Structure 1
Amino acid sequence: MSDAPLTTVPYGRLDADMVARWAALAPEDDGPVWMVNLMSYRERAAYADGRETDLTGREADDRYAPLEVLADIGAEIVLVADVEDQLLGPEPRWDRVAVVRYPSRRAFAEMATRADYRERHVHKEAGMEATIITCAVPIGSPADAMDPDALVDWGEVPHPPTDEDGPVEVLHLIRFHPGRADDEMVRYQDDAALVAVPHGVRIAGWFGIEGTVIGDGRGWDQVRFNTFPSREAFMAVVFDPQRLEAQRSHREVAIADTYTLVLRPVIDRLGASVAEARADGG
């Protein structure tokens, strides 16, 4: 099998030039990155070689999962979650979200040249209808300045986690209007926090986006992950009149395009991975 890098994929536009630049990075110019994957599956897998299969798109992607390859290059899957609801954003409808922390951009670029990775990638091609993969690095958030003692214990919030409605991760993929993000989003965050904190919100990680590895031509600026003790807690914040007014006055002014996804995590080490990187100086 060829060790040439991938230049096209059937499930989105691949920025091959950006990946090629990463492959040439010197170690001192590189460092850890988080690849955020939004995945929409085909109803039935369709292999390029025409083989017959009864696999669904999701089942084909499960066969792709390159766990050994990731472990070999020092990468780690830090979040896998099913999309329970897509509250904002156009088609496609996303089915699953995964986040992988790579030790460097170069490691990600070189992974695609490995024969063992390419052997597995045929399953991803068969299963995937559309994908957005963004390269992200942690940025500051209100949590950095918050006294941990100010956080409300989940046992004391109005809608605590239950067996039927446990914690949810809420993803916001965001593109800002040029020049409008800073002031308007800070105002929105300040107002929204007054509602969200009493309902037990935690910030798992906010990330600035360096580039879109695979997508549909749209650029993105940030991806934010906020954790709530339950879906009911999150929806109470969504429909709070104070937050809705802040959304109309500030958030909608700042944001040009967005997806908001309610996620049910299967694996969730996202916040821990960010904390570990900061402790290591990464």
Structure 2
Amino acid sequence: MTGFSPGCTDDGTDADAGSALDAGGRTDAGEAPPIELTTTLCDDPSNLRAVLEASQGGEGSSPFGGANQSQIERMLAAPTEGPFYMFNLIRYRERAVYPDGRETDLTGREANALYSPVEFLQAIGARPVFITEVHDQIDGDDILWDEIAIVEYPCPLAFFAMLSQPEFQARAIHKEAGVERTIAIVTDLVPIPSPTDPDQSEAAFPPTAEDPAFDLIHVMDFHDIAQYEPAAGEPERTGGEAWEMYQAGGLGASEDLGHYPTAVLEVQGVFVGDDRTFDQILMVHMSSMEGFQALLDDETRAAGRYHRLAALQNNYSMIAFPRILAIPYADGDPGRSPPPVTADGVGTLCMSDADCPGGGVDTCLSDGGAAGFCTREGCGAGECQSPYLCCHDCAEAVAAMLPFDGSACLPGDVVGSLTAAPVSCTCD
């Protein structure tokens, strides 16, 4: 980022401190001490001046580099409003490339794992609410994304306070080295009720170990005016209205099949990305691939597909099996939450083994690119604290593909897929 624009926020906080930042992000008068990170930053709008004065005083790669100035100004105009949700699309480099030219054998994922801002997120009361690999990208092929991460931040002020920390800035060089492309989108969560059948056991095609449930994620940019073919005979409407007509046409079939929305995110703006804009992110929890195919085959939905084609200017549609899903519903249901933390530290949020507490809880179950949780490898039957079970004696044919070596403490609500064939672990 090249600095904050001067002006005032809507609560009267003077933002002229932003004009003192030069292109490198340092103040003309020298470095101001960073503001202390706490979970109460959003309670006091006057904290904004301290954040602006300390912004980017540290060494290393600037975490604001390439940020959208218009979106920064929108966030600064309401610095204590929240929460907001940062939706991140990530594509990793095959091999890490450091901007300072250092030699490295790290992959992009391994370099990004060194970035690991877990303690900064916890300090301001932020949390990852959705972490997943992209299993399949079924629409939008200009960039094939590797990972999706959504982080809930309490307010923009806390977010910028985190980014102003010298330690955070110094560590951000690893993210720059590891990530080839990224789009970070600031969004607001649309309130929706929690599902009546969250495990989809009553769905027409319920999930099984062989055909599990998944999330279908649409990242959408609508045409200002829907682009119908002349022969369609449709009146002029916006792209968003055309999308709503497409959704309405297939809603009954989707509900009948047992699918339900995971989240609807309305876009404020792109924080980091290219010249494109986006309008909405829709996440749907599909009961199974068989259930998804049944929806695609529904005649009513197929008949309205021309509304979809008219609505979308740019979009990505991706299939994912999230490791963390804790996006809250309007009635307080937190979704599928991250695993709890036990007294010995199993379940601690981590991005690498270095984040784990030790004492036998030394392994971070993560792919090295996104947050996972700490576990105890080498456990025996009954040795894990509730609600974790020790999964061990897995089928030899698939043991090498599992994310742990031999045995590990795993949450009780996820062991079903491990005890079923062909994995066939014993979990107790």
Q: What TM-score do the two structures reach when normalised by structure 1?
A: 0.84
**Number of equivalences:** 266
1:66 has 2:121 as partner: no
Q: 1:245 aligns with which of 303, 314, 317?
A: 303
- Name which structure has the greater RCO, CA cutoff 8 Å, separation 6+: 1
Identity of aligned residues (%): 33
Q: Is the 8 A contact 1:153 1:200 kept in 2?
A: no
Name which of structure 1's ranges 16-25 and 45-54 shifts more when overlaid on structure 2: 16-25
Runs of at least 5 residues in structure 1 that lack an aligned partner in the other structure: none
Q: Deviations 1:171-197 (Å, cap 9, x if unpaired)?
A: 111111114234322221121112211
**Aligned ranges for residues 92-103 of structure 1 at < 5 Å?**
92-103=143-154
What SS does structure 2 have at the residue aligned with 1:72? helix
Q: 2:324 aligns with which of 251, 267, 277?
A: 267
1:154 has 2:187 as partner: no
Q: Is the 8 A contact 2:203 2:259 kept in 1?
A: no
Question: What residue identity is the alignment partner of 2:285?
Answer: T
Q: Is the 8 A contact 1:168 1:262 kept in 2?
A: yes
Matches of 1:99 and 1:33, distance apart in 2:
10
**Aligned ranges for residues 91-240 of structure 1 at < 5 Å?**
91-139=142-190, 154-179=200-225, 180-240=238-298
Q: Offset at 1:130?
A: 0.5
Matches of 1:277 and 1:73, distance apart in 2:
22
Query: After the TM superposition, which segments of 4 or more aligned residues of structure 1 sit over 6 Å from their partners?
Result: none
Q: Deviations 1:233-279 (Å, cap 9, x if unpaired)?
A: 2233234343222122x11122211110111101110245x65499x
Matches of 2:143 and 2:250, distance apart in 1:
28
* Higher share of residues assigned helix: 1
Q: Is the 8 A contact 1:171 1:260 kept in 2?
A: yes
Q: Deviations 1:127-175 (Å, cap 9, x if unpaired)?
A: 11111111000225xx55x9x66x6972233332122332211111111
Runs of at least 5 residues in structure 2 that lack an aligned partner in the other structure: 1-25, 32-53, 57-61, 226-237, 335-428
Q: Which structure has the bigger radius of gyration? A: 2
Cross-structure match for 2:102: 51
* Higher share of residues assigned strand: 1
> RMSD across aligned C-alpha pairs, in angstroms?
2.6
Question: What residue identity is the alignment partner of 1:169?
Answer: D
Matches of 2:318 and 2:293, distance apart in 1:
12
Matches of 2:93 and 2:283, distance apart in 1:
26
Q: What TM-score do the two structures reach when normalised by structure 2?
A: 0.57
What SS does structure 2 have at the residue aligned with 1:155? coil
Q: Deviations 1:193-222 (Å, cap 9, x if unpaired)?
A: 122112221111101101100111101111
Q: Is the 8 A contact 1:204 1:271 kept in 2?
A: no
Cross-structure match for 1:22: 75
What SS does structure 2 have at the residue aligned with 1:157? coil
Matches of 2:300 and 2:253, distance apart in 1:
7
Q: Offset at 1:81?
A: 0.5
What SS does structure 1 have at the residue aligned with 2:304? helix
Question: What residue identity is the alignment partner of 1:19?
Answer: I
Matches of 1:139 and 1:267, distance apart in 2:
19
